[in-house]
Amino acid sequence: MASELDQLEANIVGAEGVGERIDALVALGRALLRKDIARAGEAGDEALALAQEIGDVYREGICLGCLAAIANRVGEHEQAIEYGQKSVAILESWGELGELVLSLETVAVAYWRLSDLSESLVYFLKQLAVCEQLGDEEAHGRVLSGLGVLYSAMGEMEKAIAYEQQGLALFRKIGNKDREALLLNNMSYHYMKMGDYDEALRLGLVGLELAESEKDIYRIIVLAGTLGETYMKKGDIGEAERHCLRGLALLDQHADPNSELDLRFFMGQIKLAQGETAEALTYLEVAVALGERVGNKDALYQAYELMGETRVALGDYQAAYEAQLRCNRIKDEIYNEERATKLRQIEVAHRTAVAEKEASHYADLYASEQSRRQLTEILQQLGQAMVDQVDLGQMLAEILRQLAVLVSFDRGAVLLWRDERLVPITVWPEGSGVWEEVPLVAIGEGPLGIILGEKRPFLTTTTADLDLSPLLRPYFAGGSWLGVPLLRQEVVIGVLTLARREAVAYDEEGVQMARALAAQAAVTIENKRLYQQSEQRAEALTTLAQVGEDILASLDLQVVLERLATHAHQLFNAIQTVLWLRQDEGELFAATVAIGKYSDELRADPMRLGEGFAGGVAQSGQAEIINDMDEGERGKHVPGTPEREETPAALMCAPLQMHNQTIGVLVLYREKAAGSFMTGDLEFLVGLARQAIIAIENARLYRRVQKFNEQLEQEVVARTADLQVAYKQLERLDRTKSDFIAVTAHELRTPITILRGYGQLLEQDALLVGHDYQMNLVSGMVNGARRMHEIVNTMLTMVKVDSRSLELQAEAISLGDIVKKVVRQFRVEIGERKQTVIVEEGMDDLPVVQGDREALMIVFENLITNGIKYTPDGGQIMMRGRMHEVDGRQMVEVQVEDTGIGIAGEALPLIFDKFYQTGEVANHSSGKTKFKGGGPGLGLAIARGIVEAHGGRLWAESEGYDESRLPGSIFYLLLPSKG
Ligand code: ADP
């Protein structure tokens, strides 16, 4: 072997001319392909450079082929493809088939390595074709082995092995041990993949023996991998490890990243299985590095996956996560990178090939596919047409017209099942003869009976045997006949009939077409029905909404009920509508509302509970439809209305129920010809009846409220009158009292003045002067008369305040002055009571007020004497003043505060009434300042009267009345300041 290489090296040196040198370099390059790839690369590069230098395109093609093979070896498959394709183009044009085979193979292998199987297949097939032309068994064998690889990649192991067996035979025949070993390896691998480990091992070991004898290091390495994997699969870890280690050891002599990647991956698996996790990791780390380098994604993702597991075993979850993530990414890439699509392309190519072989069969398939497509198109068009159509007859006619495109027939019809009759809705050809309605046929009898009963198409080649009723004749044409049921949820709603004059039966396909269109017709009819239903429902809802509005709009019950009945009457196209209402909770019902021709007759003849249909509904409380009045003999004839035979009518009744009692019945009559009433109609009527109840209840409540209001109003009027009487009485009393006071005061004034006058004369009488005893009596009399005079004056002031006839002499007054003057006036009394009066600073600075001096003196006299009176000995009376703004007006405020017994909360608003006083009458004293010595109860009333006459206010505040705690009181006086 070495000598051969030496020889090749020698050839280069000894080459005569550039051409020869190039050839020698290429020969060396090829020879070194699996032995010294670096040197091979050098040789190839030099050869290419030389060929380009001398412009030898032919040789350039050969060099490129060689370089492509080298690139493949080192895993640079894209480079290999680029070189290879250039080489192929050149060699094809030169017709150099021998070299062309090599380049085609290189490209095919490169594509395969890149997982582009369809491209790979293309090149292998070209190679196969060239081989056949060439008669090159060697190359032929290689193509076979290449196809083996390709099919295995497509998962077709058996096919792969079949090709490989041919190749193996070929290589054995020509004695190519190297290739034989390769095929043994591949077959071993494929058996392994198929799960036949024994066969895999047998072939692998034969291959290994061969490679050993040939000293083919590369092959030994590859086989080490295959055997290692097979042993592992078999569960013989020991053998697996032995082979893998052997392969790895040999890599020193022949570097091959792909094999190394495989071997290290297997070792990783083995170590993991042996529990030597750390070692496994070491193997796998190198494996993934290699995989990343050569870009072998299939191997790489498996390596990462295993690495993930290893990391988990080592407890390094972060790294495990990353490895798994990388694994997932690569897997994604593999899928994304056209792998799937390319595989699919091959599949399609494959299928097409098969299909072409079965061309005739396919042609049939195609034809039926075509007509199926036509049917689909027609159905689609029909679907569209149905959306635009409104009229059911037109819709069905369209369906028949379209069916005529697909199936031939002379007469056709669509009949719908209505009221136990089959009614022709549309016929073909239009306007041909008289098509009668077909009354109820015995189910299971005759063609229509069979269709209705068995819900399946009925088909006959000849109608000669059928005993057809004359009614049915138009639907038949003498020859073959096909009837298909129109089904809606397993219920036959109609029949589609097709008739031909010829006695040839409709074939299966014809039946299918008719069925498809019958289904379309059924859907169309159902849609139409649903549409109508929803239309009706919308109309009914609108009516209910209107009735609701009517109820709100009017409180007049009769009006509301009439409107409600009118709505129902119109909605249902009724001929007569009656609303019966129960009279006085008795047995009789009156036609409160009646719309229609016989309203007067109905109004004239009250209905009795339990009598006739409506009376029955009133009794049972159950709404009811009576589409056929003949059933049962419950009907009652109202005099003056037509007999039911004359105008057959359908009716429905809904009870009006309130608190579990039927208070009325709503009844609708419709001409029989206008159609039967449906459950949905009755539901609606019940809804209306409920609305009527609401209206009645509303009216009842309204009447009650109205009555209540009326009662209330009457009561208010009565009470007001009472109050007015009482008020007048009080007023009279008050006036009488005031008059009495005024009269008394006036009457008393004169005698008191006389008493005082005479008393004063006696005080000065010379006869009495010096007689102490007599003088004492006289001064007692004079004092009593003065006090009486004062009281009478007070009473007269009160009368003036009351009658608002106080005459005020307005002048500018300083309240400080007045206060001080009054305090001075009571100096003696204050001293007797050991009280302190404090007039706080600032009283003098208060702005002047416009007022009557004397009157204001009275105010403060009263406030201060009260302070003295209702404060125990030793207490305090404080006075302070300040400016105050009230409602934008400047006011002077004076407070008179004491430390006395206080005033109870409830007494606060009353103390300003005249004659109000809390003290006991027994405590009354003539003294003005004695503790709790209540007066006549006029002081505060007069004070407030005077203050109010000045445009001011007077009020009091106190925490309450308590003789031991002494909470005190504060009197507030507000007077407008001058200016
Ligand atoms: P009288 O002549 O009884 O004092 P007034 O009209 O002056 O009449 O007062 C009415 C009542 O208001 C008094 O009987 C008393 O109960 C209560 N009152 C007036 N001022 C004070 C006060 N400073 N402290 C406690 N009670 C008072």
Which H, E and C letters describe 165-184, residue by residue?
A: HHHHHHHHHHCCHHHHHHHH
Q: How far is the CA of 939 from the centre of ligand 1 (A)?
A: 8
Q: How far is the CA of 756 from the centre of ligand 1 (A)?
A: 29
Six-digit token pair at 500? 């031909």
Q: What are phi and psi of 639, to 5 degrees?
A: -55, 135
- Give the residue carrying structure tokens 């013989």: 236
- Give the residue carrying structure tokens 């008719």: 514
Ligand 1, from 833, 859, 866, 925: best to mutate by most atoms within 8 Å of Cβ? 866
Q: How far is the CA of 819 from the centre of ligand 1 (A)?
A: 19
Residue 441 confidence (pLDDT): 62
CA–CA gap between residue 338 and residue 116 (Å, rounded): 8
Q: What are phi and psi of 940, to 5 degrees?
A: -70, -35
Q: Which residues pair with 577 in a beta bridge?
A: 595, 668
Let me know: does 914 contact 802? Beta carbons within 8 Å.
yes
Q: Quick check: CB of 308 below 6 Å from ligand 1?
A: no
Q: Quick check: CB of 486 below 6 Å from ligand 1?
A: no
Residue 147 confidence (pLDDT): 85
Give CA 190 to chain center in angstroms.
56
Q: How far is the CA of 618 from the centre of ligand 1 (A)?
A: 78
Atom 24 of ligand 1, residue of closest alpha carbon: 870
| C-alpha separations of 675 from 81, 190, 422, 436, 613 in Å | 83, 79, 17, 20, 19
Q: Which amino acid is at 188?
A: S
Q: Which residues pair with 838 in a beta bridge?
A: 878
Digit-coded pLDDT (tens) for 271-293: 988 989 899 999 999 998 988 88
CA–CA gap between residue 83 and residue 64 (Å, rounded): 5
Q: Quick check: CB of 937 below 6 Å from ligand 1?
A: yes
* Element containing residue 457 per DSSP (H, E): none
Six-digit token pair at 909? 């608003």
Closest CA to 666 of 613, 717, 711: 613
Q: Which residues pair with 491 in a beta bridge?
A: 488
Six-digit token pair at 784? 């009593």
Q: What is the arrangement of strands in the sheet containing 607-608, beginning at the earlier edge strand?
A: 607-608, 588-596, 576-582, 661-671, 649-658, 624-626
Record the pTM.
0.37
Q: Quick check: CB of 510 below 6 Å from ligand 1?
A: no
Q: How far is the CA of 917 from the centre of ligand 1 (A)?
A: 6
Q: How far is the CA of 953 from the centre of ligand 1 (A)?
A: 17
Closest CA to 70 of 32, 126, 104: 32
Q: Quick check: CB of 794 below 6 Å from ligand 1?
A: no
Let me know: does 514 contact 427? Beta carbons within 8 Å.
no
Q: Quick check: CB of 758 below 6 Å from ligand 1?
A: no
Residue 151 confidence (pLDDT): 82
Six-digit token pair at 924? 């009354």
Atom 2 of ligand 1, residue of closest alpha carbon: 935
CA–CA gap between residue 720 and residue 727 (Å, rounded): 10
| C-alpha separations of 405 from 376, 401, 432, 512 in Å | 13, 7, 19, 14
Q: Which atom of ligand 1 is nearest to the CA of 942?
A: 6
Let me know: does 210 contact 181? Beta carbons within 8 Å.
yes
CA–CA gap between residue 486 and residue 526 (Å, rounded): 10
Atom 12 of ligand 1, residue of closest alpha carbon: 911
Q: How far is the CA of 453 from the centre of ligand 1 (A)?
A: 111
State the Cα torsion 90-95-98-100 to the nearest 10°: 30
Residue 537 confidence (pLDDT): 66
Q: Quick check: CB of 968 below 6 Å from ligand 1?
A: no
Six-digit token pair at 190? 């494929």
Q: How far is the CA of 911 from the centre of ligand 1 (A)?
A: 7
- Give the residue carrying structure tokens 């190839």: 44
Digit-coded pLDDT (tens) for 882-918: 998 888 888 999 999 999 999 999 999 899 988 877 6
Let me know: does 465 contact 473? Beta carbons within 8 Å.
no
Q: How far is the CA of 943 from the centre of ligand 1 (A)?
A: 12
3-state secondary structure of 589: strand
Residues of the chain with pLDDT under 70: 1-2, 335-390, 419, 431-434, 440-442, 533-534, 536-537, 552, 555, 630-634, 644-648, 918-927, 934, 979
Six-digit token pair at 119? 């491209």
Closest CA to 557 of 686, 435, 663: 663
CA–CA gap between residue 578 and residue 342 (Å, rounded): 80
Q: Which atom of ligand 1 is nearest to the CA of 912?
A: 6
Let me know: does 248 contact 264? Beta carbons within 8 Å.
yes
Q: Quick check: CB of 900 below 6 Å from ligand 1?
A: yes
Closest CA to 326 of 341, 311, 313: 311
* Element containing residue 193 per DSSP (H, E): helix 177-194
Q: How far is the CA of 885 from the centre of ligand 1 (A)?
A: 28
* Element containing residue 201 per DSSP (H, E): helix 197-214
Q: Which atom of ligand 1 is nearest to the CA of 901?
A: 25
CA–CA gap between residue 823 and residue 815 (Å, rounded): 12
Q: Quick check: CB of 954 below 6 Å from ligand 1?
A: no
CA–CA gap between residue 889 and residue 969 (Å, rounded): 26
Closest CA to 49 of 72, 75, 70, 26: 26
- Give the residue carrying structure tokens 């409160």: 592
Strands 836-839, 876-886: parallel, antiparallel or unpaired by DSSP?
Answer: parallel
CA–CA gap between residue 243 and residue 222 (Å, rounded): 10
Q: Which amino acid is at 647?
A: T
Q: Quick check: CB of 866 below 6 Å from ligand 1?
A: yes
Let me know: does 268 contact 283? Beta carbons within 8 Å.
yes
CA–CA gap between residue 308 and residue 320 (Å, rounded): 4
Q: Quick check: CB of 934 below 6 Å from ligand 1?
A: yes
Q: Which atom of ligand 1 is nearest to the CA of 871?
A: 24
Q: Quick check: CB of 226 below 6 Å from ligand 1?
A: no
Q: Quick check: CB of 903 below 6 Å from ligand 1?
A: yes
Residue 851 confidence (pLDDT): 92
Q: How far is the CA of 952 from the centre of ligand 1 (A)?
A: 20
Q: Quick check: CB of 863 below 6 Å from ligand 1?
A: no
Q: How far is the CA of 977 from the centre of ligand 1 (A)?
A: 27
| C-alpha separations of 847 from 377, 854, 950, 955, 973 in Å | 108, 19, 16, 21, 14
Six-digit token pair at 879? 């006075």
Q: Quick check: CB of 917 below 6 Å from ligand 1?
A: yes
CA–CA gap between residue 240 and residue 809 (Å, rounded): 136
* Element containing residue 739 per DSSP (H, E): helix 679-764
Q: Quick check: CB of 958 below 6 Å from ligand 1?
A: no
* Element containing residue 635 per DSSP (H, E): none
Q: Which atom of ligand 1 is nearest to the CA of 940?
A: 6
Q: How far is the CA of 901 from the centre of ligand 1 (A)?
A: 11
CA–CA gap between residue 698 and residue 705 (Å, rounded): 10
CA–CA gap between residue 657 and residue 692 (Å, rounded): 10
* Element containing residue 344 per DSSP (H, E): helix 340-357
Ligand 1, from 912, 940, 944: best to mutate by most atoms within 8 Å of Cβ? 940
Q: Quick check: CB of 872 below 6 Å from ligand 1?
A: no
CA–CA gap between residue 191 and residue 306 (Å, rounded): 24
Q: How far is the CA of 794 from the centre of ligand 1 (A)?
A: 15
CA–CA gap between residue 267 and residue 229 (Å, rounded): 10
Percent of residues in the chain assigned helix, strand, coil, to nearest 5: 65, 15, 25
Closest CA to 585 of 661, 656, 653, 667: 661
Q: How far is the CA of 14 from the centre of ligand 1 (A)?
A: 152
Atom 11 of ligand 1, residue of closest alpha carbon: 917
Let me know: does 540 contact 518? Beta carbons within 8 Å.
no
Q: How far is the CA of 937 from the centre of ligand 1 (A)?
A: 7
Q: Quick check: CB of 935 below 6 Å from ligand 1?
A: yes
Q: Quick check: CB of 478 below 6 Å from ligand 1?
A: no
Q: How far is the CA of 868 from the centre of ligand 1 (A)?
A: 10
Q: Which amino acid is at 104?
A: L
Atom 20 of ligand 1, residue of closest alpha carbon: 866
* Element containing residue 537 per DSSP (H, E): helix 508-553
Let me know: does 185 contact 167? Beta carbons within 8 Å.
no
